[in-house]
Amino acid sequence: MKLDRAINIDDLRAMAKARLPRMVFDYIDGGADDEVTLKHSVSRFDDYQLTGRTLRDVSKIDCSTTIMGQKTRLPFFISPTASTRLFHPAKGELAMAGAAHEKKVIYACSTLASQTLEDIAEANPGSKWVQLYVWNDKEIVKTFLKRARAAGFTGCILTVDMPVAGNRERDPRNHFAVPPTPNLKIARQVLARPGWLWDLVRSPKITPANFTHLRGGNAGETGGVIGFVNEQFSRSVTWDDVRWMRDAWEGGFAIKGISRAEDAKNAIEIGADAVWVSNHGGRQLDSSVPVIDLLPEIADAVRGRADIIADGGVRRGSHVAKLLMRGATGVALGRASLFGLGAGGQPGVERALSIIEDELRRTMALLGATSIGELEPELMRVPKF
């Protein structure tokens, strides 16, 4: 299927579904428990209605902005996603990072990336951030951050909404594991996608590539990447314990996974430059509130002392505009870029980014807004709560 036949992100999703084994597609596509948050995060955008200003000169639209100190051509960027080689075994994160560089957007790399920081930096000499989970061992984090800094990553994101992994029921049902281990239970779904399988068998094993020296880092001896996570990540950490992470990093620092005003204040108190409002794309706490509904109360708590990043359910350029109108400084894309990757590697991610950019520019023109600053809240009607 040719990528330029993908007219929107849903088309890329359909192409990814046709190319990936069911367990891999569902790992991207699925959410926690009854997937209520997953569904609402996308559908809630429809309840916010736009009222555009007409007869304005919209011949030039400037989408540039600054997010967490990083000047950027577009107000959206690629969100961190773990084990990205699952969705494209040959390149994974390199394809994502390369596409971000090509389209001049920020790339955020997961702690659990399946490519090394140094290789990712080579694929993307442009703007890039690195994401952390809360580890048991401070020294591992310090070494990781030092490597990230040396490789040219300028921002750090601490994800705090995963004290335990969410209950994603599609995964056990599909016998999903990282790395995928060939066995009879998954044979049918994998053999049905020979292109992906061929890529997988020709590529190195999928591991948390930046930690292969640690116990479990080779993703074999302790139950794959999930076993590694259970062994290395801490469940008992509190706000007081994460202060040192901010101090260990010289650049911009964001706390990702905030959904309450009091936690936004805590993030600012420990010195965060950005509060990242997220429910992890509906993969963690089900029935959590769609991010677009939360933004004004977070903005009230932040009072301009930090940037606000938002993600969750963004499948359209108009969704980006709506989040910005509700108070976000920048918007992160999770599945939208992953569907592009699954559909067609780096060109697929580039296609996803182009689709969202074109839609955002068109939405702004129709709203009569020629810059991000002109995306004013009064251009949108907010549903009653």
Ligand X SMILES: Cc1cc2nc3c(=O)[nH]c(=O)nc-3n(C[C@H](O)[C@H](O)[C@H](O)COP(=O)(O)O)c2cc1C
Give the binding site for ligand X (CB under 6 A). 27-28, 41, 79-82, 110, 112, 131, 159, 256, 278, 280-281, 283, 311-314, 333-336, 338
DSSP H or E run through 357:
helix 335-367
- Distance, CA of 71 to CA of 172 (rounded, Å): 42
Q: How far is the CB of 48 from ligand X (least distance, A)?
A: 16
- Residue 302 Cβ, how far from ligand X at the closest point, in Å? 19
Is residue 353 helix, strand or coil?
helix
Question: Quick count: other Cβ atoms within 10 Å of Cβ 239?
Answer: 13
> Whole-number minimum distance, CB 10 to ligand X, in Å?
13
Cα four-point dihedral sign 92, 277, 254, 236: negative
Q: Give the residue with the Cβ less far from ligand X, 121 or 333.
A: 333
Q: In the complex, what is the shortest distance from the CB of residue 60 to ligand X, in angstroms, rounded to a whole number?
A: 29
149 or 170, CB closer to ligand X? 170
Transcribe 207-233 into DSSP letters: --GGGTTSTTTTSSTTSHHHHHHHHHB
CB closer to ligand X, 171 vs 374: 171
CB of residue 52 vs ligand X: minimum separation in angstroms?
25
Active-site choice (40, 88, 280, 319): 280
Quick one: tokens of 266?
């805590």
Residues 240, 127 contacting (CB under 8 angstroms): no
Give catalytic status of residue 213 as yes or no: no
- What's the token pair of residue 303? 């009072």
> Which is closer to ligand X, CB of 74 or CB of 336?
336
Cα separation of 349 and 94, whole Å?
11
Position with the least CB separation from ligand X:
334
Shortest Cβ 156–ligand X spacing (Å): 12
CA dist., res. 196 & res. 27, Å (int)? 15
Q: Which residue has the tokens 């994160």?
A: 93
Residue reference for tokens 């790992």: 27
DSSP alpha helices (H): ranges in 219-314? 224-232, 239-247, 261-269, 291-302
312 or 370: CB nearest ligand X? 312
At residue 62, the 3 state secondary structure works out as: strand
The 10 Å CB-count burial string (b at 16+, else e) for 52-88 is: eeeeeebeebebebebbebebebbbbbbbbbbbbbbb
Q: Which of residues 81 and 174 has its CB atom nearest to ligand X in the complex?
A: 81
330-350 as b/e, with b when 16 or more CB fall inside 10 Å? bbbbbbbbbbbbbbbbbbbbb
Q: Which is nearer to ligand X, 327 or 342 (CB)?
A: 342
Q: To 10 degrees, the CA torsion angle through 351, 357, 363, 365?
A: -120
Q: How far is the CB of 378 from ligand X (least distance, A)?
A: 27
Known catalytic residues? 280
